[in-house]
Amino acid sequence: MDWNDATLWWLAAGALVALELATGTFYLLMLALGAAAGALAAHAGLTGITQAVTAAVVGVAATMIWHLRRARGPKPAAADANRDVNLDIGESVQVAQWNADGSARAHYRGAEWSVRFAGSGTPVPGAFVIVALHGSELRVAPAGASR
């Protein structure tokens, strides 16, 4: 079987996409774009060196653009306060009584939980929203303040 340059570039692009799916590294998709550019250069009849340079330039440029885009974007919340990591963040909890140190016990999801006040001022009994989870302790803020 005789494979031409374009076929090899397409196989490389496919392998990079498969590797990205296995690892979750989005940068590999940018390199796959470079390999696809190399394949298109091969279809255009350019030399092997020109194909490689085209693939390298497109792959590196796409990677740099993606990196700069991510660096300028908003930073994700810390894992203990990120709703994408912990679905309890943003849920409501009722606190009946606070201790002097800002801690309490509250019934949440069918169990008693340790609760710590994360807002400003002195906590008063009532409705609160979970803003973070530290181990098995819920960090809460007043319901109207964090939504």
Mode of pairing for the β-strands spanning 137-142 and 103-108: unpaired
How confident is the model over 5-42, as pLDDT tens digits? 999 999 999 999 999 999 988 899 999 999 999 999 99
Percentage, residues of the chain above pLDDT 70: 97
pLDDT of residue 146: 45
Give CA 67 to chain center in angstroms: 14
Report residue 93 as tokens.
């909890």
pTM: 0.56
pLDDT score at 84: 79
